[in-house]
Chain A
Amino acid sequence: MKISPSTNGDSLGHRSASLRRRHVVASLFKALCIGFTLFAVSVLGLLIAQVGADGLPWLDAQFLNNFPSRFPEKAGVKSALYGTLWVVSLTALIALPMGVLAAIYLEDYAPASRLTRVIEINIANLAGVPSIVYGILGLAIFVRFFGLERSVLAGAMTMSLLILPVIIISSKEAIRAVPSSIRLAAYAVGATQWQVVRSHVLPAAIPGILTGVILALSRAIGETAPLIMIGALTYVAFTPEGPMDEFTALPIQIFNWASRPQAEFHELAAAGIIVLLAVLLTMNALAVLIRYKGTQK
């Protein structure tokens, strides 16, 4: 049995009807992919335009300096902004060390045991638990069981649990990126494990860790549901003075305004969103800066 090659003289440049049709399909498919991508990208533009059009007219010094009010023209985000800053700072204080230490354990210390595997899988799955479930956890444990009430501390601890998996996962990646030759070299001159980690692994991993931490904290800034669960949605006309004070937060204030029927309050919500996005943008710029500095070394 022989194969006869297609030396049947058919020259190039005369593509058949079916091949033309296949090229049409290919072009349509590519156009479809581009179209859908443009759609996704343009949603961001639409969203920003909508927020800007509604919110910008309300955005002034008074909006930043006033407390919430039932009169839209007097309402502001001062307590919400302070509340957000309080919660995020406290969350950073709690979650940063815990997350990084957990990542150090899992990357440099943990034995290859069943328990380690359970911890790893558990962290991956915790990252996908709906945030509102963390709210229920915070409500039952921090608010009720530990009696922290609707305090900044209860909010920060709830948020810490929420972002801990994110911090651990990104810190692990940053630590793993440190070449093991550095570790071996340090051990070779007689360093203990902690000395190796503290003097060699952590300094090299810090830019990556910080980037991950900031992105995790941005997530905490935007989270609403868990704070509502622990009861942060109250009319708060003061700024928190300490971790045990009651508080409100930017996304909660936005939710509050957006859920009212009056158009003025929807516009206030948009103005609040601009403030919230500005805070997030600042954080992200910081993350980019750190990443940039980190790669420069």
Chain B
Amino acid sequence: MINSENAVLEARDVTIRYGGHAAVKNVNLSIYEKKITAIIGPSGCGKSTLLRSLNRMNDFIDHVTQDGEILYRDTNLYDEGVDPVEVRLHMGMVFQRPNPFPKSIFRNVAWGPTINGLPGDINLRVERALKQAALWEEVKDRLDDSALNLSGGQQQRLCIARALAMEPEVILMDEPCSALDPVSTARIEDLLFELKQNYTIVIVTHNMQQASRVSDYTAFMESGTLIEYGDTDQVFTRPKQKRTEDYVTGRFG
């Protein structure tokens, strides 16, 4: 269904259980380089759980077990020898609600590169990341202010800058606009187009308009199962599955 582009990440037969309950069931999914992949579906369909498995964030949740493989350039992220910290150096993440550290704007962006000893001048790195996140002009004169004084939209762009400063290959976004107003949301969507030139982006969203606006590929999940995956245009205009059609045309439920 999708041409043979360069897959960065490949989920193979992934099943994720909370205790006995399977939140993600036998999902196979490829994430392509420098494209935006949207994962949509009703709440509780397992889309966030799937996303969090891509940078091993489910490791922190008790009683979660996972079967199947997630290949990152032919290495299974869940292999014995793979260090989850190292995984997260390659996969940045932006969360549902802005979660800046209660530190200065500068320290928020600089913290990750510093603890990981990333090379180069840290001031330049912070500036670069803030510019890429389209926040630099607003904060360049008050980098030492607390990040908590920023507005919600600014905080979320700061969190994007925090992820960008690590220069990851993939950026995972878990409903990044769900806590933001429409203006801030539009700014972040614009930002996604910019970022696509350099990064592979996976975005989970419950907002179908958003998915159709920003993404190249769309995956539709329901009750833990991947129902349909394909070009965004195709999924929204000519869905192959009845259930996808019901959902994207609003006849869901």
Q: Which residues of A contact B (CB under 8 A)?
A: 1-7, 11-13, 15, 18-19, 22-23
Contacts and interface: CB of A to CB of B under 8 A. Distances in A.
B123 interface: no
The residue among A12, A15, A22 with the most chain B CB atoms within 10 A of its own CB is A12
Contacts of B86: 12-13, 15, 19
Interface residues of B, number: 27
B85 A5 contact: no
A163 B35 CA distance: 66
Interface in B154-185: 164, 167-169
Contacts of A12: 72, 75, 77, 79, 82-83, 86-87, 90
Contacts of B75: 11-13
A3 B82 contact: no
Contacts of B90: 6, 12
Contacts of B77: 12
The 9 closest A-B pairs by CB, nearest first: A13-B81, A12-B75, A15-B83, A12-B82, A5-B169, A6-B167, A13-B82, A5-B198, A7-B169
Interface stretch (B127-135, B145-153, B204-212): B127-135
Contact of A3 (B73, B85, B198): B198
Contacts of B220: none
Contacts of B106: none
Contacts of B131: 1
Given A1-B131, A4-B167, A15-B86, 15 more contacts: A3-B129, A3-B164, A3-B198, A4-B198, A5-B167, A5-B198, A6-B169, A11-B75, A12-B77, A12-B79, A15-B83, A15-B85, A18-B117, A19-B85, A22-B85
B167 A3 contact: yes
B199 interface: yes
Contacts of B79: 12-13
A3 B136 CA distance: 15
13 contacts: A3-B129, A3-B167, A4-B198, A5-B169, A6-B167, A11-B74, A12-B77, A12-B79, A12-B87, A13-B79, A13-B83, A19-B86, A23-B83
Interface of B: 72-75, 77, 79, 81-83, 85-87, 89-90, 115-117, 128-129, 131-132, 164, 167-169, 198-199
A43 B164 CA distance: 48
Given A11-B75, A13-B79, A13-B82, A5 B168 contact: yes
A104 to B, nearest CB: 39
Contacts of B82: 12-13
Nearest to B75: A12
A5 B8 CA distance: 13
Contacts of A18: 117
Nearest to A2: B198
Nearest to B125: A3
Contacts of A4: 167, 198
Given A6-B169, A13-B81, A23-B83, A1 B128 contact: yes
B77 to A, nearest CB: 7
Contacts of A11: 73-75
A227 to B, nearest CB: 47
Contacts of B83: 12-13, 15, 19, 23
A23 B199 CA distance: 28
A12 B90 CA distance: 9
Contact of A23 (B72, B73, B85): B85
Contacts of A13: 75, 79, 81-83, 86
Contacts of B73: 11
A2 B195 CA distance: 10
A3 B169 contact: no
Given A12-B87, A13-B81, A19-B83, A5 B199 contact: yes
Nearest to A15: B83
Contacts of A3: 128-129, 132, 164, 167, 198
Contacts of B85: 15, 19, 22-23
Contacts of A2: 198
The residue among B86, B89, B169 with the most chain A CB atoms within 10 A of its own CB is B86
A15 B128 CA distance: 26
Nearest to A5: B169
Contacts of B81: 13
A5 B73 CA distance: 15
A201 to B, nearest CB: 36
B122 to A, nearest CB: 14
Contacts of A5: 167-169, 198-199
